[in-house]
């Protein structure tokens, strides 16, 4: 009998009881807006910002409405203007080029390397070709490039780096948290990321000018003195009449849900990495399968798993996907002709007028992706790996 997996690849864990209690307290007192505070009250959003700044070692933190909003706000805050060109990974998710488009700028895509990170040689080429002064670097699916080498290239060329850490909250390169290498780090607290408030985003930076602009942009009205992880109020004097209000604040209800989750992030990273290691071990030495090797400096969070079916014909990949789906294993394929669900490819983003990138095309044609929600056990992951192995073998035998 064929083994079948019955778990759900989209089912996250429930909100911790402490988060539910804190959310109920906010609803009972009714002060959901971040600036609606009782005498002497700090507010859940300001406390979350303080705690996230401390967790990442950043001077400043701002909580906002989504990860996409965080990126667009960061781009505006670092000075991207309509008509500018902004470098970014060709292999990323749609909200990344979307954030560039939101500020009226144009993405300049950079090839993906074999380990799914940004190709540093091509980055240098694209910097020289485009003259772009900002890179929106996406740590897509949690894969982290050599951040020292990347910062050397960008610093030498005068390129500011905004990091998209939607898949790397809790992760580090060489002991330094992602989001702390560039000028600004952006995080998402959308349901499928590492903290879950349905929607939400966080911005961190050490730059007081950039952060003061971000706070004003987010819609602080003249309440920036109610932030406790922001630059001091006098820093806003020269800015407050010049920076537009583009409302995208976080509210106290979401922050209340997030704070207890943030405290448990280290424990959850350990569980994610145990799931990841189980799938990896189960797929070791599978004929035709290329695993993505993690570098020793990469302190990653294994919340999803990728592997390559390098140069497999599309029909054979589809046989694997169908075989796995029939046995309860939901895979995503970056090689599909049409975008589906959350998965799309740079050449699907027509508004960005993408130019063909042969190296990325070849890579994505064989790239398989799988979520590993924490509702899975290591036993589930061992079973998933057995099903994958069997279906991969069957597809190869069928040719």
Shortest separation between residue 99's beta carbon and ligand PLP, angstroms: 8
Which is nearest to 230 in space by CA: 68, 46, 30? 46
The residue among 61 and 166 lying less far from ligand PLP, judged by its C-beta, is 166
Shortest separation between residue 93's beta carbon and ligand PLP, angstroms: 4
Asked if 160 interacts with ligand PLP (CB under 6 A), we say: no
Q: 342-346: list long-range contacts, CB under 8 Å, 24+ apart.
A: 342/93, 342/192, 343/369, 344/93, 344/94, 346/90, 346/91, 346/92, 346/97, 346/109
Using CB under 6 A, pick the residue from 135, 140, 301, 324 that binds ligand PLP: 140
The residue among 97 and 231 lying less far from ligand PLP, judged by its C-beta, is 97
Shortest separation between residue 92's beta carbon and ligand PLP, angstroms: 5
Q: Which residues of 178-191 are buried (b: 16+ CB within 10 A; e: fewer)?
A: bbbbbbbbbbbbbe
Using CB under 6 A, pick the residue from 178, 188, 261, 304 that binds ligand PLP: 188
Q: Fill in the DSSP letter of residue 233.
A: G
Shortest separation between residue 391's beta carbon and ligand PLP, angstroms: 26
Q: What would the x/- binding string for ligand PLP be over residues 43 to 82, using CB under 6 A?
A: -----------------------xxx--------------
**What CA–CA distances, in Å, run from 314 to 125, 337, 375?**
31, 10, 31
Asked if 368 interacts with ligand PLP (CB under 6 A), we say: no
Using CB under 6 A, pick the residue from 19, 43, 95, 323 that binds ligand PLP: 95
Q: Fill in the DSSP letter of residue 325.
A: H
The residue among 13 and 311 lying less far from ligand PLP, judged by its C-beta, is 13
* Runs of H (alpha helix) within the chain: 17-29, 44-56, 67-77, 95-102, 120-130, 147-157, 208-217, 252-263, 265-283, 314-326, 358-365, 378-398
Q: Could you tell me which stretch among 159-167, 202-210, 265-273, 388-396 binds ligand PLP (CB under 6 A)?
A: 159-167
Shortest separation between residue 187's beta carbon and ligand PLP, angstroms: 8
Q: Which uninterrupted H or E stretch holds 309?
A: none
Asked if 164 interacts with ligand PLP (CB under 6 A), we say: yes
Q: Could you tell me how far CA 84 lies from the centroid of its own chain?
A: 23
Residue with tokens 């008509």: 83
CA distance 392 to 138: 30
The answer to whether 271 and 374 have CB atoms below 8 angstroms apart is: yes
Query: How many residues at the interface with ligand PLP, by CB under 6 A?
Result: 15
Asked if 323 interacts with ligand PLP (CB under 6 A), we say: no
CA distance 370 to 306: 6
Asked if 93 interacts with ligand PLP (CB under 6 A), we say: yes
Asked if 343 interacts with ligand PLP (CB under 6 A), we say: no
Q: Which residues of 148-177 are buried (b: 16+ CB within 10 A; e: fewer)?
A: eebbebbeeeebbbbbbbbbbbbbbbeeeb
Q: What is the CA radius of gyration of the chain?
A: 21
Asked if 116 interacts with ligand PLP (CB under 6 A), we say: no
The residue among 163 and 391 lying less far from ligand PLP, judged by its C-beta, is 163
Q: Is 15 left (phi over 0), alpha (psi -120 to 50) or beta?
A: beta
Shortest separation between residue 366's beta carbon and ligand PLP, angstroms: 20
The answer to whether 178 and 172 have CB atoms below 8 angstroms apart is: yes
The answer to whether 257 and 19 have CB atoms below 8 angstroms apart is: yes
Q: Could you tell me which stretch among 87-95, 214-222, 254-262, 356-364 binds ligand PLP (CB under 6 A)?
A: 87-95
Using CB under 6 A, pick the residue from 88, 117, 126, 138 that binds ligand PLP: 138
Shortest separation between residue 292's beta carbon and ligand PLP, angstroms: 16
The answer to whether 185 and 155 have CB atoms below 8 angstroms apart is: no
Asked if 96 interacts with ligand PLP (CB under 6 A), we say: yes
Shortest separation between residue 1's beta carbon and ligand PLP, angstroms: 37
Q: Which residues here bind ligand PLP, judged by CB under 6 A? A: 66-68, 92-93, 95-96, 138, 140, 164, 166-167, 188, 190, 201
């Amino acid at each position: 009998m064929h083994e079948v997996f019955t778990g759900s690849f989209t089912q996250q864990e429930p909100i911790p009881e402490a988060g539910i209690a804190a959310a109920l307290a906010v609803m009972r007192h009714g002060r959901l807006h971040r600036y609606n505070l009782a005498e002497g009250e700090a507010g859940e959003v300001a406390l979350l910002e303080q705690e996230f700044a401390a967790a990442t070692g950043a001077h400043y933190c701002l909580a906002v409405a989504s990860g996409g909003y965080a990126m667009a706000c960061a781009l505006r805050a670092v000075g991207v203007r309509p008509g500018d060109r902004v470098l970014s990974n060709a292999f990323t998710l749609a909200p990344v080029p979307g954030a560039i488009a939101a500020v009226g700028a144009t993405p300049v895509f950079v090839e993906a390397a074999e380990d799914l990170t940004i190709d540093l040689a091509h980055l240098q080429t694209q910097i020289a070709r485009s003259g772009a002064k900002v890179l929106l670097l996406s740590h897509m699916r949690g894969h982290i490039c050599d951040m020292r080498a990347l910062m050397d290239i960008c610093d030498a060329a005068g390129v500011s780096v905004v990091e998209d850490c939607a898949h790397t909250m809790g992760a580090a390169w060489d002991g330094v948290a992602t989001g702390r290498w560039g000028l600004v780090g952006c995080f998402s607290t959308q349901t499928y990321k590492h903290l879950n408030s349905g929607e939400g985003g966080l911005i961190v930076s050490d730059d007081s000018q950039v952060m003061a602009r971000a706070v004003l942009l987010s819609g602080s009205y003249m309440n920036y003195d109610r932030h406790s992880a922001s630059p001091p109020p006098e820093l806003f004097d020269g800015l407050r009449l010049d920076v537009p209000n583009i409302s995208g604040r976080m509210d106290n209800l979401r922050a209340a849900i997030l704070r207890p989750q943030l405290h448990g992030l280290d424990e959850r990273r350990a569980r994610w990495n145990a799931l990841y290691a189980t799938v990896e071990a189960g797929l070791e030495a599978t004929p035709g399968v290329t695993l993505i090797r993690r570098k020793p400096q990469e302190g990653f969070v294994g919340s999803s798993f990728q592997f390559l079916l390098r140069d497999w014909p599309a029909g054979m990949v589809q046989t694997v996907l169908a075989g796995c789906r029939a046995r309860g294993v939901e895979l995503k394929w970056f090689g599909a002709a049409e975008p589906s669900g959350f998965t799309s490819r740079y050449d699907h983003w027509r508004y960005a007028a993408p130019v063909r990138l042969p190296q990325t095309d070849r890579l994505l044609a064989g790239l398989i992706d799988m979520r590993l929600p924490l509702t899975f056990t290591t036993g589930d992951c061992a079973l998933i790996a057995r099903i994958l192995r069997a279906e991969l073998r069957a597809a190869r035998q069928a040719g």
